[in-house]
Structure 1
Amino acid sequence: MLLPGERLVARGPYRYVNHPNYIVVIGEIAVLPLCLGLPWLAVVFTLLSSPIKLMMDRLVCADGGNPDPTLTDGKDAALAKQIELDGWSYPRHLSGRSFSVIVHGDVSGAADVRRSVSDWLRFMKLTPAGAASEVDRYIGYWEPYATSHQAFDDDKAMQDEVRNAARSLAEAVAQKWFGACAEPGETLTEPRRK
C-alpha cells in the first residue's frame, strides 16, 4: 500500500525486494520450522522459495505491465502510472520463449490449474513446447495422504510424462536457439495490446 503523496522506499533492503511483504513472507517461511525446532528446514525452505519468488516476479513483468524501472527513478509509482497512461506499449519481454506446464493433484482441479497457467503464458506470447509439454494428471485419486507418496512413486507412466514434457521443452529451446523453429503468426500485429 502506498499513501497518497508518498514514494515507495527504495533504500535498505527494499533496494533488493519490490515489496515489504516479501520480507514478511520470507520470515513466515522461516518461522514455522524454527517453532518446530528445525532450523535446517527454515534455511532450506527460505533458500528454495527465493528462486520461485524471483521467477514469479519475472513472469508478472513478462507481459510488460510494469514500465522500465530506469524510467521511473526506481520505484516512483505515480510516474510509472503516468508512463502507462501516456502510451506504454506493454512489451512482452518473454515473447516467443517456450514453456512446459505439469500439474498433478489427488482430488480435483488439476486440469483447470494447468489450463489457467497455460492460457496465461500464451497470453504473454510464450509458446507451448509441443503436445507433450502440457500435462495434468491425478495421482492417488481420493486415496489417503499417508500413501500419496507411494502412489506417485508407483506411477511410472506419470514420471515418464514429466520426463517427456522436460525433453519436449529442451528440444523446443534448442530449436529456437539454433533458429530452426519459427512461431506461426509471430509477425502479425496485435489489435489489442492489453
Structure 2
Amino acid sequence: MASPRLSEKAFKARYKQQFVDPAFEPLAQSIEQIASIAWQAYADSRKSPITRKAGPAFSDPDYDLSVDWIAAHEAVLQAQRRYEDLTVPPRLLIINGSSRSEHTCPGEMSKSFRLAEIARETIDKETKLAVEILDLSRLASEYGRNIHPCKACFSTAAPLCHWPCSCYPNHSLGQVQDWMNEIYPMWVAAHGIMIISPVNWYQVSSPVKLMMDRLVCADGGNPDPSLTQGKDAAKAKEVELAGWDYPRHLAGRLFSVIVHGDVEGAENVRHSIADWLRFMKLSPAGPGAELDRYIGYWKPYATSHDELDADETIQEEVRNAARSLAEAVVERRAGRFRQIGIGLEDPRQK
C-alpha cells in the first residue's frame, strides 16, 4: 500500500489549518514554533509520549504502557465492579444514535433523541433502575468530541486488538479526543442497553457505526497489551495461534433495539444491530424490546416531527420496549431470566 507519510511542508500546512481564523494572525510566529514541535512528534512517531511500567498485573511488568490506556483500563475495571455490585440498582444505557441536533447545522433535534427521552422518562417514572444517556449527536455538535475509525487490528490477529482499544489516542497523528475511552465503561457498567437509530441509506447512522466498529475489542480483544508488546503483529499472531480464548467482555448483558425510518430499510437495520449484539453474546430482552417502524412514511421531512407527535402508537411501543428491557434486567438480577443455551461453549470461535 502507498505510504501515507507527509513531508514536513505538507504536514505543517495541514496542521496550521486549525488556525485559519484571522484572530490567530498576531500569533503566527508562535504557531510556527508549535507546528515544528508537532512535526517532530509526527516524524518520530511519538504515539504515546507519556508511559509508565505495566506492573505485576500484566504478563510483562516492565513493558511501557501508555498512561492514556492505563486510565481507560482502570475505568473499565471500575465499571465491571459496578456491574457486578448487587447492592446498587441495575443500570440501563440508552443510546441516541442520530447525529442530528438543534445545536448545529440541522437546526432541530432528532426523532431518535425524542424517542430516547420517551424511554428514559418511562424508566425514571416506573422503575428504580439507574439510567445513563449516551447522546451520539454530540459527535457532530461538540468541540473535540470524536470517535476515530477502527483500524481493524483484529483482522491481523485477535490479541493485537486490545481491550480497551489502544490505537487511540495517537498523539503523533493528532488522533486525540477519542470518546470511546468514556463509552467503553458505559457499556461495561450497563445491565441493559437500548440503541435507538435512524436509517441512513439502508444502514445505521454514522455515529452508531463508528461505535459498533470500535466495540470489536469487547468481543475477543486482548486485555493485556504487554502480551503482544504493544502493536507487534508477528507477536500477536504467535499468541493467537498458540491458543486464544476470544474473551466476550460484554457477554450476558441485555439489549433493546429501536430503528425508525421514513421510506425503506428499517427492518434490515434493526436486524443488523440485533445480530451484532447477539454475536457479542448479549441477550435480547424479548420480542417487545425490538422495534422497527416508519415515521411519516414517504411524507415531507419538514413535517416529520409533526408525524411523530401524531403517532402515539409508536410512542407507546417505545415505552413498552423500555419496560421490556427494564423487566428483563430486573428478572436477570433476581435469577429468574434464563436464556436456554447461554452457558454452552461455542465450538466455532470468532
In the other structure, the counterpart of 1:164 is 320
2:223 is matched with which residue: 55, 68, 71?
68
CA contact (8 A) 2:218 2:248 kept: yes
Q: Is the 8 A contact 1:96 1:183 kept in 2?
A: no
- Distance in structure 1 (CA, Å) of the matches to 2:303 and 2:338: 45
Residue of structure 2 in register with 1:54 after alignment: 183
Corresponding residue for residue 175 of structure 1: 331
**In 2: Cα distance, 1:52 partner to 1:138 partner:** 34
Percent identity over paired residues: 50
Alignment of 1:125 onto 2:319: no
Amino acid at match of 1:189: E
Larger radius of gyration: 2
Are the equivalent residues in 2 in contact too, given 1:8–1:76 (CA < 8 A)?
Answer: no
Match in the other structure for 2:271: 115
Is the Cα contact below 8 Å between 1:105 and 1:139 reproduced in 2?
Answer: yes
- Specify which structure has the higher proportion of helix: 1
What amino acid is aligned across from residue 183 of structure 2 in structure 1?
Answer: L
Distance in structure 2 (CA, Å) of the matches to 1:162 and 1:178: 24
The CA distance in 2 between the partners of 1:103 and 1:52, in whole Å, is 26
- Which residue of 105, 112, 134 corresponds with 2:290? 134
Structure 1 residues 97 and 76, CA gap change in structure 2 (3 angstroms): same
Residue number in structure 1 paired with 2:262:
106
The one-character-per-residue Cα deviations of 1:117-167 (angstroms, maximum 9, x if unpaired) are: 111111111111011010000110111110111111211111111111111
Structure 2 match to 1:23: none
Secondary structure of the residue aligned to 2:248 is coil
Matches within 5 A, 1:180-191: 180-191=336-347
Amino acid at match of 1:43: E
Give the conservation status (yes or no) of the 8 Å contact 2:228–2:239: no
How many residue pairs match? The answer is: 171
- Structure 2 distance, partners of 1:68, 1:101, is 28
Task: Report the counterpart of residue 244 of structure 2 in structure 1.
Answer: 88
Question: How has the CA–CA distance of structure 1 residues 144 and 98 changed in structure 2, closer, same or farther, with 3 Å as cutoff?
Answer: same
Amino acid in the other structure paired with 1:143: K
Secondary structure of 2:260 counterpart = strand
**Could you tell me whether the CA contact under 8 Å between 2:251 and 2:281 is conserved in 1?**
yes
1:8-47 equivalences under 5 Å are 9-11=47-49, 16=68, 33=104, 42-43=141-142, 46=145
Hey, what's the Cα distance between the residues in 2 that align with 1:8 and 1:75? 14
Q: Which amino acid aligns with 1:69?
A: D
Distance 1:45 1:159 in 2: 33
Q: Which has the higher strand share?
A: 2
- Aligned partners of 1:8 and 1:77 also within 8 Å: no
Query: Aligned partners of 1:113, 1:183: CA distance in 2, in Å?
Result: 24
Task: State the 1:7 CA deviation.
Answer: 8.1
1:100 match: secondary structure:
strand
Structure 1 Cα separation of the partners of residues 240 and 280 of structure 2: 17
RMSD: 3.7
Give ranges in structure 2 of 5+ residues lacking alignment.
5-43, 51-65, 70-102, 106-139, 147-177, 185-210
**How many angstroms apart in 2 are the aligned matches of 1:158 and 1:44?**
33
Q: What is the identity, as a one-letter code, of the residue corresponding to 1:131?
A: P
Q: Which runs of 5+ in 1 are unaligned?
A: 18-31, 35-40
Q: Aligned-pair distance for 1:100?
A: 0.3
Cα distance, 1:16 vs structure 2: 4.0
